[in-house]
Chains A and B, each alone.
Chain A
């Protein structure tokens, strides 16, 4: 199985500041035939199901604010929130779908400092 490792496990950032979450896969999730990275990011608020933010490593999902962006390729990926808002408090997960056995990272808890 592809193991997804996120860092840090938790993060406290001041309102209006930048938040950065990292995700590393145990093997590349870049499919060479179409040059796509099979990597998604999700946000989960307490008591709610996850919500997709990003797929194909950098494609923002419909309705997601542009303060959310993502980058990376191969085995190293980053989710960035450019200016943290109060409503961004949540747990964030990366997910690989390169393998037919989908795996998630352990999650990163984002709080307000």
Chain B
């Protein structure tokens, strides 16, 4: 069965860095784009970033562009989110989610989500 497992969250001071991982299994990982979506405590969903199935295309929300970097290792079935210059407003649960359809070069609807990893940015 399809599984996405996020890791790497924790408490970090403002201005510091953190890298999240999303380990995937149960599907042909190299055929699907992956998204990161975050949710601040008690708030709605905010899309963060998308990487295409082959890693060639990457897209970012304006709120994280220039600070966050998405990457993937298809040999390890893993997607990463490198987060630099963290701010208190980046505090959220971060979910990775798989595209509904294969071989999309662009962000699209997502069908499977991980359980999320919590990032808290606080001094």
Contacts and interface: CB of A to CB of B under 8 A. Distances in A.
Interface of A: 1, 38, 40, 42, 44, 49-52, 55-56, 61-62, 91, 93, 95, 97, 100-107
10 contacts: A42-B45, A49-B95, A51-B113, A55-B109, A61-B111, A62-B111, A93-B45, A95-B109, A104-B45, A105-B44
Dominant SS among interface residues on chain A? loop
Contacts of B114: 49
A62 B1 CA distance: 14
A56 B110 CA distance: 11
A92 B122 CA distance: 30
B47 A103 contact: yes
B113 A104 contact: no
B63 to A, nearest CB: 10
A40 B45 CA distance: 13
B111 A102 contact: no
A38 B99 CA distance: 13
A107 B107 contact: no
Interface of B: 35, 37, 44-47, 50, 59, 61-62, 95, 97, 100, 106-111, 113-116
A102 B113 contact: no
A100 B109 contact: no
Given A97-B107, A100-B107, A104-B47, A49 B61 contact: no
A106 B110 CA distance: 18
B108 A101 contact: no
Contacts of A100: 50, 59, 106-107
